[in-house]
Every structure is written in structure tokens, then in C-alpha cells.
Amino acid sequence: MDPPRHLAVGNINVDMYLVVPRLPGPDEAVAASTAYVGPGGAASNYAVAASRAGHRSSLLAHTGRLALSLGVLEALERSGVDVSLVRVHEDELPGIAVVLLESGGQRAMVKLVGANRLLTGDEELGGGFDVAHVASVHPRVALRVASRRPARLHSYDPGGAAPQLRGHVEELRGLLDVLYVNRVEFRKVFGVEPSPLAAAEAAARLEAIVVVKLGGDGALAASPRGDLLRVEAIRVEAVDTTGAGDVFDAYMNAWLAEGRSLGEALQAAAVAAGLKVARRGAQSAPSRREVEERLQRGPPRLQRL
């Protein structure tokens, strides 16, 4: 049987990293110890992580010619991502993210949206996907993609678009299978602090699984059927948190697409995100073998609330 297929819809960025001893203050220059350039963007990160999980992945995004010159699409292809749905625009700059990264994992980031703004969700999607994941774009895009039903499982991680999602929750009811947010985004979408009760109410309202990513405190998941689970994070030395949420989403969706339980999917996602945090780079997702070996040594603690 062929591995499940994922469609990642969203942004592709040129990530430029500068590693610094500390973040500079106003009007201050700090010398970087090293720099590197590579692909980034939430949907791009997700696609790479899904491929590392042993699944097939395709990316739907818009970018500029500079991304080709810098080898961004080639890097994605080397990571096993199908980029045939990526639109390249000659007269547009790609999305760009400049990341100042401290040795302890703290970061500051400046972003240019660039060609990412051209994504509408009305593009040719194809079909036959097992998972369609929309990441860090306006809820209108998620609504259009989910309403076209290109996959069996549809998920959405609004990221920076969380404030806009607050006015579209009712429109997405019944169209999504999983909503991923962090604790700040949960508050922006639902207007309350994340808690087991609030997550359960959100899942019932959306008619979907709601996952609240809590960083070093693990994650909380509620389903419309009444499941309420919490998983602990694994202990690692943080190097770079960039893209960890995307890795979490990809591994959780991968386990769900394989018919695993919600609890098993949460544990795999927590392990994958933790292993990623210990590495530099937005697309340094662990392999499936690494995740499975860590799970075999001892899965993170799972609580049923």
C-alpha cells in the first residue's frame, strides 16, 4: 500500500538566519557568528516534516524568481516534497524571513509576505489526498480549500492569522477535522484562556478536534466526541523553536491518517516537535525512525482529563 499523501497549502519563504550571542537593542549592532539561507514558511515546513514521517507530500504556494536562484525549491525536492503546484512569479519577491537566533533558542524575526499574498485557495488542487493542511494564511483560504474536499482529513493552523479566524469559526464548522493553535492563538480565536473546559467547548463549537500547543508544557487536545487529553513535552536543550509547531502538526496528522488513536498521535507529535527544537533550522524535522525510537524508549506522559 502506498504511503498517505499530504497537501500543504500556505507560505513558502526564503529564511535567512543570523546566529547572534544576544538580540540587539535599538540602534545597536551585534556581530553574528554564522549565517545560513534555506526554505521556510509554515506550509513548506509542514510538507518537509510529512515527508520525513514517511508520507508523500505536495506543496501549494506562490513564490518569486529569487527563490529559484537561491535553490529553495531544489532543497524542498531533495527533502521529498512535490513542488509541481508551486507557482513562480517573475515579477514578485518571494516571502522572506530574517531570523536573529540566540544560542539558547530565543529569536527575533522580520518577515516580508511577498508572493505569499497571492494565495487564494482557488488554485488547482488536484485530489486523492489523505490529508489537506492549510497553514498560517487567512481563514478564507482554509474555508475555500476545505469546502472543495481534496482530502479525507482537513486541518488548519492559522498561525499569525488567528485574529482573523475569530470571525470565521462558524463558517468552518463541520469542514475541518483538526484545528491547531498555540495558547496565544487560542485566546485570539475563542476569546478565553486555554483550559481543558475551554478546549472542549471549542471542539464542540467547531465540530472538530482542537489541539492547543503549549510549548514546553506539552499539548492539550479535545474532540467533539468528548475526548480530552493532555500530553507532556519531552525534555530537550532548546536550540531553535522555529518550525516546531509545523512539525507537531505534520506528525500528528500523519499518525491520524494511519488510523492511530488521538492519544498516540499526540505523543508522536510531542516527540517530533521536541526533537526538532533541539536542532537549528525551520526544516530540521526528525525522521520517522528517530521519532519511533524515542517513543519505544518511553513515550511522553499522556493524561485523560
Q: What is the pLDDT of residue 38?
A: 87
- Give me the CATH number covering residue 247: 3.40.1190.20
* pLDDT at 235 (0 to 100): 94
pLDDT at res. 225? 96
R_g over Cα of the chain: 18
DSSP E strands in the chain: the ranges are 5-10, 13-20, 34-40, 56-60, 62-64, 81-82, 87-89, 95-102, 107-112, 129-135, 151-157, 178-182, 209-213, 219-222, 228-231, 302-304
The pLDDT value recorded for residue 1 is 81
Dmax over CA atoms of the chain, in Å, equals 58
Strand-strand pairing, 228-231 and 209-213 = unpaired
pTM score: 0.95
Sheet order of strands, 13-20 included: 34-40, 13-20, 95-102, 107-112
What is the per-residue pLDDT for 282?
Answer: 82
Grid cell at residue 24: 540587539
The mean pLDDT values, 10 residues at a time, for the chain of 305 residues are 96 94 92 91 98 99 95 96 98 95 81 97 94 98 97 98 95 97 98 98 98 97 98 93 95 99 99 95 93 97 97
Q: Which domain holds residue 223?
A: 5-24+31-118+126-304
Instruction: Return the pLDDT at 105.
Output: 66
DSSP-derived 3-state class of residue 3:
coil
Report the domain count for the chain: 1
